[in-house]
């Protein structure tokens, strides 16, 4: 089992996290959140990967053929849907903030309320 996919997942997560921490724009922050979440797809697929395994679709395939784990793939599908719902809500909130405060810079918003 190669450690490369796990390393890449960690790297993608850290890149997203760095973006979130240093973000000066709520839209940018929402996209960074999506990047960070993308690392979980990679993590899940890496867990389910079997060396030399084919896709878990068994049509015209001999019995006993090695295939990758379908359960984590189904879980990844759930993950994608959750990602979509989260970004939709975050973007809607960002729009609302822009309407109320006239800015999407988190620092300026705090200055206004304080």
Sole binder of another protein in the list 7, 50, 81, 112 (CB under 8 A): 81
- By beta-carbon proximity to another protein, the closer residue of 2 and 85 is 85
Q: Contact region for another protein (CB under 8 A) — 17-25, 38-46, 65-73, 102-110? A: 65-73
Tokens of 60: 């015209």
Tokens of 63: 């019995």
Sole binder of another protein in the list 7, 53, 65, 78 (CB under 8 A): 78
Q: State the CB neighbour count (10 A cutoff) for residue 59.
A: 4
Burial of 47 (0-12, 13-18, 19+ CB in 10 A): middle
Confirm if 39 and 13 have CB atoms less than 8 A apart: yes
Residues that bind another protein (CB under 8 A): 55-60, 67, 70-71, 73-74, 77-78, 80-82, 84-86, 88-89, 91-93, 95-96, 99
């Amino acid at each position: 089992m190669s450690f490369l996919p796990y390393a890449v997942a960690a790297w993608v997560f850290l890149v997203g996290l760095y973006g979130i921490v240093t973000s000066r724009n709520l839209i940018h922050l929402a996209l960074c959140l999506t990047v960070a979440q993308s690392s979980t797809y990679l993590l899940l697929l890496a867990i389910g990967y079997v060396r030399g395994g084919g896709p878990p679709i068994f049509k015209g395939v001999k019995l006993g053929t090695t295939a990758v784990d379908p359960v984590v793939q189904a879980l990844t599908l759930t993950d994608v849907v959750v990602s979509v719902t989260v970004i939709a809500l975050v973007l809607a909130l960002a729009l609302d903030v822009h309407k109320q405060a006239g800015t999407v810079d988190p620092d300026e918003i705090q200055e206004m309320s304080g």
